[in-house]
Structure 1
Amino acid sequence: MTRWLFDLGNTRLKMAPLTADGEPGKVVAIAHGEGDFAAAIEAALPRDGDIAYLASVASAQTTAALQEALSQRFARTAVARTAAHFAGLRIAYAKPDKLGVDRFLALLAAHARGGAWLVAGVGTALTIDLLDGEGAHRGGRIAPSPALMREALHQRARQLPEVGGDYAEFADDTEAALASGCEGAAVALIERSLAKAAEALGAAPGLLLHGGGADALAAHLPQAQIASHLVLRGLAQWAHRSGGE
């Protein structure tokens, strides 16, 4: 049986085959904000598949374009959605559908590891979610990621470069000051969340970082573990446990 996982985010599509041991295989990432997205996914997709497992937080138009492409290559598409209770995970939101499916799946993958975790996703947004050792989601935060902060500053003040500069505690040029301020803001929010999580749980949880911007922040958070493709791993868990096979 040929099964693939598709994580459609705000800026990129990440996709991988679902291996026989229930894990994502080699991951391919395609940006969908530029170029011919339809042609790119057509080139990357298998010719003939059985099931596509899809999680999307992208726009309805972009999601529809991907679903159309999947319908040409797969016999069936199963779309993951946030659930209040799933495989021992319990979501804090009174309206679970308001929690992005990417956060839900990242929490599901974290829960499968066992123990308590602060899960920080660093993509277009910075998302932070607290999961206790019993599988209860205690809530979270959403803020701009460092990359989005830089982009927003550049849009409002063109003289401020969108990229460049190295982190320093007290920078001596504009590029470094921007990198330091935006990365530092994200690090400070994560550190505060860790401190408050320890108060809430009575002990410090582990820290999982995932997403395209995770490596840059991990340099300032020595206790962090990088969890590559955490959403795809959660989607693999969902595929196995949802009965969608």
Structure 2
Amino acid sequence: MTTWLFDLGNTRLKYAPLRDDGAPGEVFAIAHGGATLPDGWDAALPARFEAAALTSVGAPALRVALLDALTARCGRISIARTVSRFGDLHIAYPQPETLGADRFLAMLGARARRPQTAVLVVGVGTAITLDLIDAHGAHRGGRIAPSPALMREALHARAAQLPEHGGAYVAFADNTVDALRSGCDGAALALIEQALRDAEILLGARPATILHGGGAGALPDAAAGDRDHVPGLVLEGLGVWATMPG
């Protein structure tokens, strides 16, 4: 009997068992269409387990369906919510409940990975989110913008001749598909780089960067510096949330 961690996003459900050391075990990622979970999504789950910890930014109906499925398998379900203070992490928002729980958990995960270190936490999913934590654990605030994938989707919706996928990132493209990829990825990279410059002015030193989310791996590694790619950062933070008193 054990605890399982669940991160329900706008396009994917990720889940993993919670190990004895408080970190996620093997992560299972399931794509969904936003309305229902696909058949067999729960194949990796045991028939019964002790507890579930959940975070969700997915549609309410999808969250209810997941909760119904978990209720049939485990005796205790807890849902992570953003709070103003957790451990040594202090959230900047005066109304912390308006900060998405996925961003909050990503910061918890980053803080656990990089204690006493200033970090810019960058999530790349439907949106790209940036949150700055100083070395003392104070959240200095963040930014939100469309992700490269959403930019491509929006352009394709308005102009069908502009392809939604494909292309390579280059400095200056000689074809449309590469130009789209380079422009949209370049916008995200420029946002990250400007945030790092602003953070350096604010803190007196350039912070480390941790990227996470389904789209983070597709971003070109064009910016120099201390940078980690941690796809399961939200699940790592959920593990911290599930095992610490707060």
TM-score bracket relative to the smaller structure: over 0.9
Residue in 2 that maps onto 1:111: 111
The 2-side partners of 1:36 and 1:118 are apart by: 33
Residue in 1 that maps onto 2:228: 225
Residue in 1 that maps onto 2:238: 235
SS at match of 1:43: coil
Post-superposition shift, 1:20? 1.3
1:82 and 2:85 are equivalent in the alignment: no
- Summarize deviations over 1:151-203 as a string: whole Å, max 9, x none: 11111111100001101111000000000000000000000000000000011
Q: Is the 8 A contact 1:218 1:226 kept in 2?
A: no
1:97 and 2:97 are equivalent in the alignment: yes
Q: Alignment partner for residue 144 of structure 1, among 126, 134, 146?
A: 146
SS at match of 1:118: strand
Residue in 2 that maps onto 1:19: 19
SS at match of 1:42: coil
The 2-side partners of 1:33 and 1:106 are apart by: 24
Provide structure 1 residue ranges, at least 5 long, that are not aligned to the other structure: none
- Alpha-carbon RMSD across the aligned residues, in angstroms, is 1.4
Provide structure 2 residue ranges, at least 5 long, that are not aligned to the other structure: none
SS at match of 1:106: helix
Residues 8 and 242 of structure 1: CA distance in aligned 2, closer, same or farther (over 3 Å): farther
The 1-side partners of 2:210 and 2:99 are apart by: 19
The 2-side partners of 1:92 and 1:70 are apart by: 33
The 1-side partners of 2:194 and 2:219 are apart by: 14
Q: Which structure features the higher share of helix residues? A: 1
- Summarize deviations over 1:29-73 as a string: whole Å, max 9, x none: 111217961533333322101000001111111111100110011
Post-superposition shift, 1:218? 4.7
Q: Taking every aligned residue pair, what percent have the same amino acid on both sides?
A: 57
Moved over 4 A (4+): none
The 1-side partners of 2:161 and 2:88 are apart by: 50
1:212 and 2:214 are equivalent in the alignment: yes
Return the letter of the residue paired with 1:190.
I
Q: How does 1:58-207 map to 2 (within 5 A)?
A: 58-112=58-112, 113-114=114-115, 115-207=117-209
The 2-side partners of 1:105 and 1:234 are apart by: 4
Q: Is the 8 A contact 1:38 1:65 kept in 2?
A: no
SS at match of 2:199: helix
Return the letter of the residue paired with 2:108.
L
Structure-2-length-normalised TM-score: 0.95
Q: Is the 8 A contact 1:30 1:40 kept in 2?
A: no
The 1-side partners of 2:95 and 2:41 are apart by: 33
SS at match of 2:152: helix
